[in-house]
Amino acid sequence: CISGVLVVELDPSGNASIEASEVVLSNTDNCQIEELSLSQNAFSCSDVEDLVLIQISSEDDSGNISDCIVSIDVQDNTDPVFSCQNITVSLNDEGLATVAPGDIILGVFEPCGIDDISLDIGSFDCDDIGINNVIISISDNNGNTGFCFADVTIVDEIAPIVECQNTTVSLN
């Protein structure tokens, strides 16, 4: 078996696998090798945080067995994948508007789970009328972060209210 730790990186779907040739330096016998097996060869997001110890067993055709243990460091180095859309938001009657990440994010693919979703600007007022650039970030459970950018257009569609008072004007 190899010494040290074998690093295995998950693919974008959150899975990885290894072959015996990646962890066995040599496998010889004075007779014929019947079977070479790994106690685990498939890995997923649940294997990321701790080292995974796998047992490699070699059995010859006489039933003699030799084992060794290999440490596997499973890593998730893929950022969350998502897309964003530009949106238009109207100010309310108090001149305020709020936007949540879910208003902008179209879809997210992250097999290892989402830890945090944030939006850099979520509150708007009359000073923000027009196009505002916002940044959305999503961090997964393994510290990978993806970003997307969107335009939030703020509009004021409420007409001003004018109240007049009745006055009497006398002409001389």
pLDDT of residue 155: 97
pLDDT of residue 31: 75
Mean pLDDT by 10 residues, the chain (172 residues): 85 93 76 80 94 89 85 95 96 96 94 95 97 97 96 94 83 75
Q: What is the 3-state secondary structure (H, E, C) of 158-171?
A: CCCCCCCCCCCCCC
Going 43 to 47 to 48 to 52, the CA torsion angle's sign is: negative
In one-letter notation, the amino acid at residue 21 is S
Burial class (CB in 10 A: 0-12, 13-18, 19+), 20: middle
* Alpha-carbon span 48 to 45, nearest angstrom: 6
* Alpha-carbon span 114 to 144, nearest angstrom: 10
CA–CA–CA angle 71, 139, 47 (5° rounding): 20
pLDDT of residue 20: 85
pLDDT of residue 21: 81
Q: Determine contact, residues 144/168, Cβ cutoff 8 Å.
A: no
pLDDT of residue 170: 79
| Chain centroid, CA 122 distance in Å | 21
